Copies of this chain bind each other. A is one copy, B any other.
Amino acid sequence: MRFFSDNAAPVHPKVMAALAAADTLDTAYDGDARSQALDARFSALFETEVAALWVPTGTAANCLALAALCPPHGGIVCHRDAHIQNDEGGAPEFYTHGAKLFLADGPGAKLTPDAILSVIDAIPNDVHRVQPHAISITNATEYGRVYTPDDVAAIGDLARARGLGLHMDGARFANAMATLGCAPADVTWRAGVDALSFGFVKNGAMSAEVLVFFRPDLATVTRYRRKRAGLLFSKGRYLAAQVLAMLEDDLWIANGRAANGHASALAAAAGDRLVYPVEANEVFLRVTPTEAAALRARGFDFYDWAPGEIRLVTAWDSDAGQVAQLAEAIAAL
């Protein structure tokens, strides 16, 4: 019973059906009808004019966004535990041609204006120091915390005041939105976000994420960069089809809600073992090595995250019975 991650879950049946439906000849690259529909579809979702580009991975989405917001000689403030810092194999540095990541702190991988200021105010404004050009936050965070619209707006205000771009890594945006219940606009552009990596792969898609620019002018150069990075699929319709299927009838929200629900069930069983409040689909627990071994002995697979700490991740397709078994096992520790 696999609680390693949500990133290898199967593909939602509606996405598979959409792939089959797209299996006819259409214009290559992003000239097909489905790809061409993305801008309008995401503009409707976000209640403002956006540019929406499919890309195959979250890393690609994040790094194209960072390249749009930060020049090679600049820097990006992110959390010390951010995915772009720790889990993308240096892709931000590759795509930005060597921009520097400035690492800020905060519980649960959440940044605050004060945490960001403590980093950037320590950087004198001269050519000897890499200057900050952007901020990147993750919603839901790498520890399953959620930024509210107010949380984001506080950072957005800071970004505006300092002339910094603001990127949101939304690999688990659906999980955040399922929790927040607000309009997608509220936690993004209305709060100052310039670019969103809108994740679908962890939430039921096969190989499609969308990079949403709330400043559509940023998309022009990004289309060149996407090609230059070898990311412009000749059969782009199969990416667009996945995304459109996920948006249809708010499947993305439904899937996010399902995953979150499973995590809540685990959280309820965990009591004060919880390292962080469970606000999305990740559960971090304090357990001894003996306890971890006991859980594994009962057939549950998961990551050791830190000494005395394990990570459990649920997905859109988690089996309710398995989740119940795990919850029971946790409660019985």
Contact = CB atoms under 8 A, between A and B. Distances in A.
Contact of A59 (B9, B202, B223, B230): B230
Nearest to A32: B8
Contacts of A229: 91, 94, 229-230
A332 interface: no
Interface in A12-37: 16, 19-20, 23-28, 32
A16 B2 CA distance: 26
A99 interface: yes
Interface stretch (A82-90, A158-166, A179-187, A245-253): A82-90
A30 to B, nearest CB: 9
Interface stretch (A42-50, A123-131, A188-196): A123-131
A235 B8 contact: yes
A113 interface: no
A277 interface: no
Interface string A86-123: 11111101111111110000000000000000000000
Given A26-B8, A206-B235, A100 B95 contact: no
A89 B125 CA distance: 11
B63 A230 contact: yes
A55 B27 CA distance: 22
Nearest to A15: B23
Interface string A226-254: 11111111110011000000000000000
A50 B10 CA distance: 30
B8 A27 contact: yes
Interface string A306-322: 00000000000000000
B90 A228 contact: yes
B230 A231 contact: yes
B10 A25 contact: yes
Given A19-B16, A100-B93, A87 B128 contact: yes
A7, A9, A207, A228 — most chain B CB neighbours (10 Å): A228
Contact of A91 (B57, B201, B227): B227
A11 interface: yes
Contacts of A226: 127
Given A16-B20, A16-B23, A230-B59, A129 B89 contact: yes
Nearest to A24: B10
Interface of A: 2, 4-5, 7-11, 16, 19-20, 23-28, 32, 55-60, 62-63, 71-73, 75, 86-91, 93-101, 127-131, 201-202, 206-207, 221, 223-235, 238-239
9 contacts: A9-B25, A10-B24, A11-B23, A56-B230, A58-B234, A88-B230, A89-B227, A89-B228, A90-B130
